[in-house]
């Protein structure tokens, strides 16, 4: 049998690495990105570039999307030039972006009305994991649809966890990211306090990072904070977006995630200070500048 044809929509920090993994596995791939230069960069690896999301999806058996937020996802899937209008009957549509559960469920319904299977498959991991094919896929959708896309998930993944029906992956991903955001904000405040205390920073950090607070995430972001290297691996503004979505999901379920609300405030201050396009570890910078 011929290899399934795949379309990949969105070639940013994460999507670009994921698309390269598919190309490296020999999977026929058509790509679309709003900034065409990012798509053209994949041509030497064997990708075909489409002019619109609709064109990219037209001949694909599986269509992946990896974009920034609900608005970007709507623009990619809906409308005259959206992927949903071009996707052939029976294709599996896979949304890997971190989105609100409400929008994921709306998109799944639109896909079903158009004769397509839909899977929400957001990921954990960042730039380096996307490039290395070590992402963890958190999946919501039918078992049958997941089985159809497993051969494509394989080159991109370290693990694949099926949470349940549509929307399950989206919800757990938001919970995951709000816990991460709380940790990053807390470590930024802790490091700022250490730096203002006069205590030797390296010694103090050895206590924190080698003890209970030293999660893998905290260790990674602390290294970036101390080095002052805010090259984007996970954009600060996207963590703020995820925290906001998580707060809204909690409210819809009668839960008030107070720690997420507090962390969101820390990230929003960093965005207001001009750090939104930097790595999320730059959340420490306004705390360092505070008088």
Q: What is the tens place of the pLDDT at every residue in 180-195?
A: 999 999 999 999 999 9
The conformational region for residue 150 under phi > 0 = left, psi -120 to 50 = alpha, else beta, is alpha
Q: What is the pLDDT of residue 1?
A: 57
Q: Are the C-beta atoms of residues 266 and 185 closer than 8 Å to each other?
A: yes
132: Cβ contacts below 8 Å, ≥ 6 apart: none
Q: Report residue 34 as tokens.
A: 């709003």
Residue 137 DSSP code: E
CA distance 155 to 266: 36
Report the C-alpha gap between 232 and 222 in whole angstroms.
14
Query: Which of 47, 142, 48 has the alpha carbon at shortest distance from 93?
Result: 142
Q: At 91, is the secondary structure helix, strand, or coil?
A: coil
Beta carbons within 8 Å of 40's beta carbon, 6+ residues apart: 49
pTM, two decimal places: 0.97
> Is CATH 3.40.50.720 correct for 6-165?
yes
CA distance 210 to 71: 41
3 state DSSP class of 99: coil
Neighbours of 37 (CB within 10 A): 8
CATH class name, domain 171-289: mainly alpha
Task: Return the closest-CA partner of residue 159 out of 150, 168, 167.
Answer: 150
Provide the residue ranges of all domains of the chain, joining segments of one domain with +.
Answer: 6-165, 171-289
Q: Which residues of the chain have pLDDT under 70?
A: 1, 291
- Active-site positions? 173
Which strand (E) or helix (H) includes residue 159?
strand 157-164
d(CA 68, CA 91): 23
CB neighbour list of residue 187: distance below 8 Å, 6 or more residues apart: 213, 218, 221, 222, 225
Q: 277: Cβ–Cβ under 8 A, 6 or more apart, which residues?
A: 232, 235, 236, 237
Q: For residue 291, what pLDDT is reported?
A: 57
Q: Residue 49: helix, strand or coil by DSSP?
A: strand
Contact, 257 vs 247, CB < 8 A?
yes
Give the pLDDT score at 3: 83
d(CA 119, CA 279): 29
Q: Look at the block and give the residue holding tokens 């750090």.
A: 275
Q: What is the dihedral of CA 193, 180, 240, 15, to 10 degrees?
A: 130
């Amino acid at each position: 049998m011929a290899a399934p044809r795949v379309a990949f929509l969105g070639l940013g920090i994460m999507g670009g690495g994921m698309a390269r993994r598919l190309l490296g596995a020999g999977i026929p791939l058509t790509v679309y990105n709003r900034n065409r230069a990012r798509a053209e960069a994949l041509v030497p690896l064997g990708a075909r570039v489409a002019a619109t999301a609709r064109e990219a999806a037209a001949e694909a058996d599986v269509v992946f999307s990896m974009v920034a937020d609900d608005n970007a996802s709507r623009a990619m899937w809906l409308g005259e030039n959206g992927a949903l209008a071009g996707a052939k009957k029976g294709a599996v549509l896979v949304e890997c972006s971190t989105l609100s559960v409400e929008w994921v469920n709306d998109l799944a319904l639109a896909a079903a009305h158009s004769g397509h299977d839909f899977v929400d498959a957001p990921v954990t991991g960042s730039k380096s994991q996307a490039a290395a094919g070590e992402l963890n896929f958190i999946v919501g959708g039918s078992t049958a649809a997941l089985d159809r896309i497993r051969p494509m998930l394989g080159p991109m993944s370290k693990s694949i966890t099926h949470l349940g029906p549509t929307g399950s992956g989206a919800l757990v991903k938001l919970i995951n990211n709000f816990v991460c955001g709380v940790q990053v904000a807390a470590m930024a405040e802790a490091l700022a306090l250490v730096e203002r205390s006069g205590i030797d920073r390296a010694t103090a950090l050895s206590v924190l990072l080698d003890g209970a607070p030293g999660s893998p995430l905290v260790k990674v972001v602390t290294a970036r904070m101390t080095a002052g290297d805010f090259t984007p691996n996970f954009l600060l503004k996207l963590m703020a977006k995820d925290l906001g979505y998580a707060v809204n999901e909690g409210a819809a379920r009668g839960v008030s995630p107070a720690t997420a609300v507090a962390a969101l405030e820390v990230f929003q201050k960093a965005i207001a200070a001009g750090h939104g396009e930097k790595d999320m570890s730059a959340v420490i910078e306004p705390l360092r500048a505070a008088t």
